[in-house]
Copies of this chain bind each other. A is one copy, B any other.
Amino acid sequence: MPPRSESLTARQAEILDFIRQTVEAEGRPPTRLELCAAFGFRSPNAAESHLRALAAKGAILLEEGRARGIRLAEGPGLPLVGRVAAGSPILASEHVESRLQLDPTLFSPRADYLLRVRGMSMRDAGILDGDLIAVHRQSEVRNGQIVVARVHDDVTVKTFRRSGPVVELLPANPDFEPIVVDTRAEPLDIEGIMVGLIRQDGH
């Protein structure tokens, strides 16, 4: 497995981000000189060595001797997460069913991944069984937002409501009961907020 992007330095992450933006906006990666212009480098070698570092860490692929020979290692699509096993991080690669080619900035704030919804507990919010929820990773949420939460190693999608130390996770379907969590006694992890939805059939 290639090294994770978490091991990138702050500067390297900036460079990688600029490359992503350029591909998005212009349909092609930047040259070394364009990187210099964007970051104020006076030497193309500053860009070159950053690219080498990113390639060594597996974030990009460099093609030798080609103009704009930078390829993003990670496909342009969003990871689609299916069932999440107990105790493991939601974006662990064994949970990623596939990648869907769509623009993360289709949603605002941007989507980090898609999560397949199981069951009808959010039916009245227009979220049906099998729908894909676009999720933005974020741990601080406001009341009324629809969140992806982990309670007792169970990942669930519900409306968030906090009253002091007690958090209620509300379904949008009278057939289901709210989940009540006392955060002084039980662990509650907020994985992110819902920023959109995709349904892949006509029902």
- Which residues on A are within 8 Å of B, measured CB to CB? 23, 26-29, 31, 67-68, 70-72, 76-77, 100-103, 106-108, 123, 125-128, 131, 145-146, 193-203
List of B residues within 8 angstroms of A146 by Cβ: 202-203
Q: In the complex the two chains form, is A203's CB within 8 Å of B31's CB?
A: no
A27-B70, A28-B28 known; 12 other A-B pairs, CB under 8 Å?
Answer: A23-B27, A26-B71, A101-B102, A106-B200, A107-B200, A108-B200, A123-B126, A125-B203, A126-B128, A145-B202, A197-B199, A198-B198
The answer, among B70, B76, B123, B198, for a CB contact under 8 Å with A196, is B198
Q: Please, could you name 22 A-B residue pairs with CB atoms under 8 Å apart, sorted by A?
A: A23-B28, A27-B28, A27-B29, A27-B70, A27-B71, A27-B76, A28-B68, A67-B67, A67-B68, A68-B68, A101-B106, A102-B102, A106-B198, A108-B201, A123-B126, A125-B203, A126-B199, A145-B202, A195-B201, A196-B201, A196-B202, A197-B199
